[in-house]
A and B are shown apart, each in its own frame.
Chain A
Amino acid sequence: MSESDQREMECPVTHSQWPEDGDRWSEEENGDEVEACGLLQEMVEEDEEIDLYNEETFGLDLDTGVEDAEGDQADLLLFCGDPSPAPPSPRPHTPSSPSLPKPGPDPRIQPRAWSGIRGRGRGDKERLGGRGKMFEDPAVMRTVEGRPSLKSLDSAIVDSGTSSSWQDKDADPWVLSSYGTQRRNPGSILQDKAIVSVIDRPTPGRILPTPLNFLSPLRRPFPAFRGAGPSKNGGQQSARPFGQSYLSQMQMNPMVPHSPVRQQHYGQPFTPKMMQLRFGAHSPSPAPFYSPSANPVQRFRFPGHVTQLHPQHRRLLSQRQQRAHRKTDSWDLHSQLMSLKEKEWIIRLQMIQLQSENPHLDDYYYQEYYQRMEAKLAEEELLGDRAKREPPKLTTPYVTKTDSYTPVVHIEGSLGQVAVSTCFSPRRAIDAVHAHCPEEEQKDTRQQRLAVLHNIEKLFMILLDVEEGERRRATVFSEGERGRLREKMQRRVELIYRQLQHPVALESGEEFLPCLLVSKGKRLLARLIPFLSHDAALHILSVITSHLPGLMSRDTDEALPVLYPSLCTVIGGLSFSQLIEVLRNFTSTLPETKETQLSLACQNKFGISLLYALLSQGERLLSSEVPMEPSIGDFENWTETVFQVARHLSQCSLVEPLLLPSNLLSLFCRYLDKRTVHQLENSMERSTTSCPAVPS
């Protein structure tokens, strides 16, 4: 049989010119042609079936006019593939195949050239029937009369028809049951082709039985995949878009599903080069040196060399890894589709995004969690142990990020922003904040408010930095380092202070007020005050007390109390004169309402707490043994203030303060008569139902 000889001869040729990228391959494959041929046969058989299904799916209407070419094609494409198990039916089917229309450039049409060859197992009836409809467009035809031809179904479904799913055992009853034969409402149901196939499966007789048994049933569902075998061949490629379709399909299908099975047989073809081609060569790789092809031979290590796992975490994982063991399930032939390399690639990719220069700041909860876990474990270990070992400190190497990138780019003159996606931020959200245009500095209040808010945000970042620095300073051992840190922090603190004092946009001399009117600004100040020098803090306190009515009235969020703790500490450090100064603000009268600030303060939680704190401080100073240096008139002012306050407190209703110092009563006792004291006591107690009394 000359044809078969021809086919046998061509087997090694085509094999070495595998379709992916032929010129890049080495010539090593020539060695195992014989062995490969046998498997190629297998593949070709499979292809035959695939082609059969496709033919049935798409119809015979496109297979005309290429008789001669078809004949050649038949030879060449089936070079090696005259399967022995198939009955040696006469090949004259090919030349004598009915005149079929010339195939168009459509790649998916070409496979149907095999219709003649494939027709071995099928009767002519089918072909005739198909031919009768060959000029119809399969896509258009939807409703069927009588038995729907599989032409109206798409290939994926036909495949499911041959029971690739795990409900295989239920397939036959379905086919044979009444569901399959009734046609109640064909039109609508047949919209979904998958369903049709299940309902009306082709009878098994139409499928070549022997190849079916030969191949494992689980390998059924890859209709679109073309085996590499009968694809390219020498010079005939130009005339065959079919070959191109193979090529394109191979390219689009980098994860070759057959590979796990084939790998056992084809040692050589799957060179590192091919691996390179297969895994993600056509998929976007985030960074060149992280593609899996970088090192094909690599045993599985811990997730990447660039990880910064906490040592405790690493320990946990190694334990877990020992326990878990991924074995290849024998029943699942498609397992291990993802190779170890690919898995590691993904892990590494995700890990890169977690790199940070300051893990304690960026990943606070993770670090904290493992630190605590470690501390607890160490404690448990040491329960029986006398010697107190310190839990091992985590020394993560601070990784400096290799590339600096701008995730969001603003092009000059454009209206918006452009997101640049990198491996660190594959999908970056673009903020709705427009790019800053200096010529648009308007004076309306909204702009001002926005500017203030923006300022506060920036300063908050610096403040967080300061707090972080302080925390680090506690852990740092060297004196020089500590000093340097302290200086750095101090500078930052001063910067924040200055910025808050005189925000840029404002010309008026109202220091601190813009930020104080914003609740976040109050929080910022509250956290800043502990870092400030005494004078600066005092200054802020004075500002607050002098503007207290305004602040209180505009404090819609009730955020003022957040300032209370830090101010308390400040007050605790006041000298007598300073105290008197501050208290004076409270007793001043307001021009518009003729009320004293006092009455307003008493109605406000923060105000009254501040007042109490101040009085308490005064009392503390007076009753302590530390000699004070009062200025002239201080005592008088003090006494006067106390009287005024007492009078006021006893008269008007009070709100609950944040904290009620316990030495207030003794203060009042000293200056006032018993009756007033009693009144005061009652009114204060009335107000403080649940307020904790703090001894000061």
Chain B
Amino acid sequence: MNYMPGTASLIEDIDKKHLVLLRDGRTLIGFLRSIDQFANLVLHQTVERIHVGKKYGDIPRGIFIVRGENVVLLGEIDLEKEYDTVLKQVSIEEILEEQRAQQQTKVEAERAKLQALKERGLSIPRPDVLDEY
């Protein structure tokens, strides 16, 4: 059991390689250099990793300072097991292309669904325009 309550427990994680998932969906991988009481993070040699299917691509980003409230989760990366994965690394261009394709298919599927529903006279309002609760 950790004696360091709250964000102080991150002190043990300092100078280790971490994977940080942000609220906007981005995945950052970097060395955790510094923290504060709000769990704001300073990530060093950060890389933004984009995953599409079984492929991923890394974009080097340098130093990140992340506001604590935007972190969904973070975890230490075992350096020995880091490359022991079925995922295949590809170039940035390729992964962005894949991502775009994925987005496109999603949008098209959504559109098709909406169209189908409209033809049947149904409508599912989008969550962001729904104002009843």
Which segment of B18-26, B58-66, B111-119, B125-133 sits at the interface?
B58-66
Measured CB to CB, the nearest residue on chain B to A369 is B1
Which segment of A44-52, A191-199, A681-689 sits at the interface?
A191-199
Task: Tell me the chain A residues, 315-347 only, with Cβ under 8 Å from chain B.
Answer: 316-317, 329, 332, 334-338, 342-343, 346-347
Which segment of A126-134, A157-165, A409-417, A442-450 sits at the interface?
A157-165
Q: Is the CB of A347 within 8 A of B4?
A: yes
Of the candidates B5, B34, B44, B91, the one whose C-beta lies within 8 Å of that of A350 is: B5
Q: Which residues of B contact A336 (CB under 8 A)?
A: 15
Q: Which residues of B contact A313 (CB under 8 A)?
A: 1, 3
Q: Is the CB of A174 within 8 A of B91?
A: yes
Q: Which residues of A contact B35 (CB under 8 A)?
A: 338, 346
- How large, as a class, is the contact surface on chain B? 20 to 34
Q: Which residues of B contact A329 (CB under 8 A)?
A: 15
Tell me the smallest distance from the CB of B110 to a CB of chain A, in Å.
21
Q: Is the CB of A353 within 8 A of B6?
A: yes
Q: Is the CB of A303 within 8 A of B4?
A: yes
Q: Is the CB of A160 within 8 A of B61?
A: yes
Q: Is the CB of B63 within 8 A of A221?
A: yes
Tell yes or no: A283 within 8 A of B by CB: yes
Q: Which residues of B contact A347 (CB under 8 A)?
A: 4, 8, 11
Q: Is the CB of A338 within 8 A of B33?
A: yes
Tell me the smallest distance from the CB of A125 to a CB of chain B, in Å.
28
Of the candidates A194, A255, A351, the one whose C-beta lies within 8 Å of that of B5 is: A351
Bound: A222/B62 CA distance, A? 8
| Contact A165-B36, Cβ < 8 Å, known A189-B96, A198-B92, A221-B45 | no
Bound: A179/B97 CA distance, A? 13
Q: Which residues of A contact B15 (CB under 8 A)?
A: 329, 332, 334-337
Tell yes or no: A354 within 8 A of B by CB: yes
Bound: A255/B91 CA distance, A? 34
Q: Which residues of B contact A303 (CB under 8 A)?
A: 3-4, 8
| Contact A179-B93, Cβ < 8 Å, known A347-B8, A351-B5 | yes
Task: Give 16 A-B contacts (CB < 8 Å), ordered by A residue.
Answer: A156-B62, A159-B62, A165-B60, A192-B96, A303-B3, A334-B44, A338-B14, A343-B11, A346-B11, A346-B36, A347-B8, A347-B11, A350-B6, A350-B37, A353-B6, A426-B37
Nearest first, the 8 closest Cβ-Cβ pairs linking A and B are A160-B60, A165-B60, A350-B6, A335-B15, A347-B8, A337-B33, A350-B8, A350-B5
- 16 additional A-B residue pairs with CB within 8 Å, beyond A198-B60, A338-B34: A156-B62, A165-B58, A165-B60, A194-B48, A329-B15, A334-B31, A337-B33, A337-B42, A338-B33, A338-B35, A343-B8, A346-B8, A346-B11, A346-B37, A347-B8, A351-B5
